[in-house]
Amino acid sequence: MEIISKLRHNKNFVTSFSIFVFLVTALGVGFLIGRVLVYESPFDRLIVTSLYFTTQSNLLVFIVMSLFLLKKGDKHWFKVLALIGLIDITITGFVFHLFLASYLSNINFMQHLLHTITPLFYISFYFIILNHIFSLKDFWIGLLHPLIFLVSVYTWIHPLFGNLLSSVLTDFQGASYIYPFLDPSTYSNGFTGLLIFNLGLLMPVIILMTIGLIYLKSRIENHISL
């Protein structure tokens, strides 16, 4: 805790580390944009890319870092946005390495950047640089975007863009639902398996992870303030 306090009060470190994390997030967003441009039918690819939770979480932390460098870190809405970014990017890394990496034949640098490097550096930034504290009862704030994303998959993403997703991502199982674990057909018992995995396993784990991150952050901040 003493180390975090010293680092936080070192203006040179805060500035340089914040700029570095910003550049990491910018590189991730740059790769996402660049990937769209090098494929045929870039407009279709842009739509598909924008629908990924990974894209949205990486874009969000890039926005948070931009706002921090623009001196918006003391705004309440920034604190909310930063927390949502924390939960989003943690979920991105967690879900990718546990449930999605096995579906990929090759994990390149961009995948590591979006799912490993950016999450690690943003989490470090959040815990070292920011002094935000949220009550445990406010854990739902961090779950807003994941829940909106989940509902969106079944209410408009799959119905409207399912065919496009499948046509662009021809080698990806469950592409029409964006991720395999959201596709009922990937489970031997269909919709029942979908509910068991997502509502019985994945969602409780994400909720506990969110509460754990908020609790850890509050303990660190309370200890530093002593």
Q: Kindly report, residue by residue over 15-44, the tens digit of the pLDDT.
A: 999 999 999 999 999 999 998 888 778 899
Q: Specify the pLDDT at position 169.
A: 81
Q: What is the mean pLDDT of residues 142-146?
A: 96
Distance (Å, whole) CA 35 – CA 38: 6
Beta strands in 75-120 (DSSP E): none
User: Which two three-digit tokens encode residue 123?
Assistant: 């989490």
pTM: 0.94
What confidence tens digit (pLDDT) does each residue in 188-210 have? 999 999 999 999 999 999 999 99
Q: Specify the pLDDT at position 41.
A: 83
CB burial readout 124-142, b (16+ within 10 A) else e: ebbbbbbebebeeeebebb
Beta strands in the chain (DSSP E): none
